[in-house]
Amino acid sequence: MDVVGDILARDRRSRDVALVTPDERERTYRDLITNGYKSANVLRYLGAREGSTVAVEPAPGLHTTLAFLGAAALGRPVRFDPETGIARGDRVVLVDVADESTTEPAPGTGLAAFGGPPERPETTHWEQELWSENPGMPPSGVGPDDIVLRETDGEGPDRSGSVTHRALLDAAASVAGEHGLEPGDSVTLRGDLSDPRALAAGLVAPLAAGATSVLVGEETDNGEPTVTVEREDGGSRRVALPALGER
């Protein structure tokens, strides 16, 4: 794979489970890829044009995953930090509907909410647009050295700084290679999506390998995300979060 959007290649659609969300619902590769295309189209409708950034709620789940994959396929960087996204003028901001009332987008920023109908008429109802969208992938010219993740205001070198498609995929490939990930394996991510190392190991690595990403949403006592490989035979192994190398 050259760019993160290659995860959504049409010929990868299958009935294998791609994603298990914190509500324990399973989505197949066919479901994930088709809805990834729809997500890209919703983001275009909301104004995610060339040069723009999409700010996404970092809580792991179906809609935050789809927004990340759809934006990556379009070549639009994602910032897993809506508050910073608003402050920096990101074009699209996606939040949980529970946070809509306290989220004030800046002029020129389109706000969308998932998890139910929003209160304000100017806020886009993400699911409503997603389910009605065209399931075809719009064209894009994204390349390996383009930015896939924008910096957040988190603390520490691994929670800030922009990350390219190449760097994220290389980190994911190092995890997949070290643990021999293949279809039938599961990789469990406990934590949110804001740490690029956890995103690479817990979401991108299994999806690129045809395995299953299990999003739990819990964190360890020290607040750091953890990633674990679960084998079909019942064995499990903790994954060291990968270095991202040259960004």
Please report the pLDDT score of residue 156 as a whole number: 44
Residue 125 lies in a domain: yes
Please report the pLDDT score of residue 37 as a whole number: 95
Q: Which residue has the higher pLDDT, 163 or 247?
A: 163
Q: Which of 54-68, 131-145, 186-200 has the lowest mean pLDDT?
A: 131-145
Question: Position 98: which residue type?
Answer: A
Secondary structure letter of residue 190 according to DSSP: E
CA distances in angstroms from 129 to 34, 41, 87, 190, 228, listed in the order given: 14, 9, 25, 29, 34
Please report the pLDDT score of residue 209 as a whole number: 97
Residue 75 lies in a domain: yes
Question: Does residue 86 have a pLDDT over 60?
Answer: yes
CA distances in angstroms from 109 to 54, 91, 121, 123, 222, listed in the order given: 10, 5, 15, 11, 34
Q: How many CB atoms lie within 10 A of CB 108?
A: 10
Residue 182 lies in a domain: yes
Residue 180 lies in a domain: yes
What CATH number corresponds to the domain at position 109? 3.40.50.12780
Its domain, for residue 200, covers 4-136+146-239
Residue 245 lies in a domain: no
Residue 246 lies in a domain: no
Please report the pLDDT score of residue 13 as a whole number: 96
Tally of structural domains, the chain = 1
Residue 94 lies in a domain: yes
Q: What is the pLDDT of residues 99-136, one digit of tens each?
A: 999 999 989 899 999 999 999 999 999 999 999 988 88
Rounded to two decimals, the pTM is 0.93
Residue 141 lies in a domain: no
* Percent share of the chain, pLDDT over 90: 80
Q: What is the pLDDT of residues 194-226, one digit of tens each?
A: 999 999 999 999 999 999 999 997 766 577 899
Structure token digits, residue 85 = 């996204």
